[in-house]
């Protein structure tokens, strides 16, 4: 099965977003600051408020956002997302999709757009090998290296939890051991095992894991179950050693949204006092698109 991967977070999305805004009469560029983009978004909100006979607002918020024309709404969403997480620009697929009517372009359209990117600026479509390198780098920077420091210190079990898989955490939480010292020692042993696992990780192993997990998902549709009460969406999850795959299937139009991400590392931004601030951590997530044979 041939497929391509599309990043959830990709700085090159800003290239297209700000080009779109400029083409639609909104004079901003990629160097805009959070303060500047907030000011513009508030001015758009207040224009909508006046048109509705309402009081203007002072901050970027949900009120009046639905009344904005699409180009203004694209900038408003960018400002709103950035304000919620000011440590990193919201160069996400959600912002990018706003340019195209809140829908990710087709693979062929993405190829055409990718050809417009200036040399050296980036790309839109990625291979499993490229994703594997990014996933390994994520694991090593945010899990392996910090975990090694934790193990070299006088740590207790709660310091290790964010480095463990769901299964490891369940084992630790259900342990029959009594007493803090015994539980701390068990957590330290488990942490050493996790560090050995991280040291042994390679992009080649992650590629194999990606292929195996996607093949498991695509071998049939019987495993996909209804999600929610309205019975409009089915979903499934596939966890493996290095990655996990999630799928949402719209039963009305048979459209499938498949995502790929690391199997652990959700809580890496919960920091120790000695750690650098990981508030701007980018968790590698990809949409998976099948290619026509």
Mean pLDDT, each 10-residue run in order, the chain (293 residues): 93 98 96 97 96 92 93 97 90 96 95 97 98 96 90 75 79 69 83 94 98 92 75 87 92 86 76 54 91 74
Structure tokens at 20: 């779109």
Q: What's the rounded Cα separation, in Å, for the pair 13 and 244?
A: 25
CB contact at 8 A, 260 and 228:
no
Q: What pLDDT score does 253 carry?
A: 78
Q: What pLDDT score does 210 carry?
A: 97
DSSP letter (8 states) at residue 62: S
Q: What pLDDT score does 229 carry?
A: 64
CB contact at 8 A, 53 and 94:
no
Q: From 159, 141, 158, 142, select the one nearest 150 (Cα to Cα).
A: 159
Structure tokens at 7: 């990043």
Sign of the torsion angle spanned by Cα atoms 82, 118, 109, 134 = negative
pTM above threshold 0.85: yes
Q: What's the rounded Cα separation, in Å, for the pair 214 and 3?
A: 10
């Amino acid at each position: 099965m041939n497929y391509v991967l599309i990043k959830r977070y990709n700085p090159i999305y800003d290239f297209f977003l700000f080009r779109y805004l400029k083409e639609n009469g909104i004079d901003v560029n990629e160097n805009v600051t959070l303060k500047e983009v907030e000011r513009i978004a508030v001015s758009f909100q207040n224009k909508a408020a006046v048109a509705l006979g309402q009081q203007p607002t002072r901050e970027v918020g949900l009120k009046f956002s639905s009344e904005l024309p699409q180009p203004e709404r694209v900038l408003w969403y960018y400002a709103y997302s950035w304000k919620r997480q000011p440590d990193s620009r919201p160069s996400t697929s959600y912002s990018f999709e706003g340019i195209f009517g809140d829908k990710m372009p087709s693979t062929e359209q993405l190829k055409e757009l990718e050809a417009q990117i200036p040399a050296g600026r980036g790309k839109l479509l990625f291979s499993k090998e490229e994703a594997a390198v990014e996933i390994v780098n994520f694991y090593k920077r945010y899990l392996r290296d910090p975990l090694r420091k934790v193990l070299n210190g006088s740590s207790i079990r709660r310091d290790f939890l964010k480095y463990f898989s769901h299964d490891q955490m369940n084992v630790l939480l259900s342990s029959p051991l009594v007493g803090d010292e015994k539980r701390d020692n068990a957590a330290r042993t488990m942490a050493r095992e996790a560090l050995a696992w991280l040291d042994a990780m390679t992009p080649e192993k992650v590629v194999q894991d990606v292929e195996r997990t996607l093949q498991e998902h695509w071998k049939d549709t019987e495993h996909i179950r209804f999600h929610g009460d309205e019975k409009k969406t089915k979903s499934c999850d596939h966890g493996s050693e290095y990655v996990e795959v999630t799928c949402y299937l719209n039963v009305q139009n048979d459209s499938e949204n498949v995502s790929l991400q690391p199997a652990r590392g959700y809580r890496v931004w919960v920091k120790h006092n000695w750690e650098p601030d990981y508030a701007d951590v980018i968790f590698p997530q990809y949409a998976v698109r099948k290619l026509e044979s």
